[in-house]
Amino acid sequence: MLVECYDERGAEVYEIIIKQIFQDLVLSSSVDDLKAYVNPDDPVFVLAIKMRKTSNAIKFEDVANLIYDKQNDVTRILIDNENYLPHILKELWKQFSREEIYQPNRYQLEIGGDHTDLKTIIVDDPHSNLQRRIYDAIFRILPEGFKIIKDLSTENIVTVVATDELIKDAWIEKANEFIDELNKGM
């Protein structure tokens, strides 16, 4: 972790803040590296966080079997991994009302009609979940009042430039330097 600031004490304080927020949100083990630039004289905060690799997205077919019963015109979803049941229900509730989903037991769901096409729908995406948690941390870290934010994130590096003024090109360049350095592992 590197916090750049002309004020050495200010850099130390921000490093403590960042570590505390990461600890509170249990993010330390999910992040490879972090670079921050703070300049109170030129009100700017640049933060780039390299995420660790996550497991692949989980689809319906990875955690459940979908079987269409033509005779009764119902799709049965047999849950293989109960840990994903809340994710499965969340995705189903996006497409169907709760009344349309019958749950005779904790390992089975039924929906009227042929819905075997659901098998390719993503029920859990660890990468997106981690990214969302990192954005949560960033918005806790950013100084109060820095409402002008430019997101420069890439696939595995979440990067933002925040200020309370117009964003300067030099700050964007600084953020892009951080992205390059994190990509190279510096």
pLDDT tens string 85-123: 999 999 999 999 989 999 999 899 999 999 999 999 999
Q: Which residues contact 144 (CB under 8 A, 6 or more apart)?
A: none
SS3 of the chain: helix, strand, coil, percent, to 5: 40, 30, 25
Q: Phi/psi at 154 (nearest 5 deg)?
A: -115, -170
**What is the spatial distance between Cα 86 and Cα 129, in angstroms, rounded to a whole number?**
15
Contact 43/68 with Cβ under 8 angstroms? no
Q: Tokens standing for 88?
A: 């499965």
Coil, helix or strand for 144?
coil
**What is the spatial distance between Cα 79 and Cα 68, in angstroms, rounded to a whole number?**
14
Q: Which residues contact 184 (CB under 8 A, 6 or more apart)?
A: none
**What is the spatial distance between Cα 96 and Cα 111, in angstroms, rounded to a whole number?**
9
Residues 139, 144, 150, 153, Cα dihedral to 10°? -30
pLDDT at 7 over 90: no
Contact 118/64 with Cβ under 8 angstroms? no
pLDDT at 117 (0 to 100): 92
**pLDDT band per the 50, 70, 90 thresholds, residue 186:** low
pLDDT tens string 64-89: 999 999 999 999 999 998 899 999 99
Q: Are strands 31-39 and 2-4 parallel, antiparallel or unpaired?
A: parallel
Query: How large is the angle between the packed helices 126-141 and 8-24, nearest 10 degrees?
Result: 140
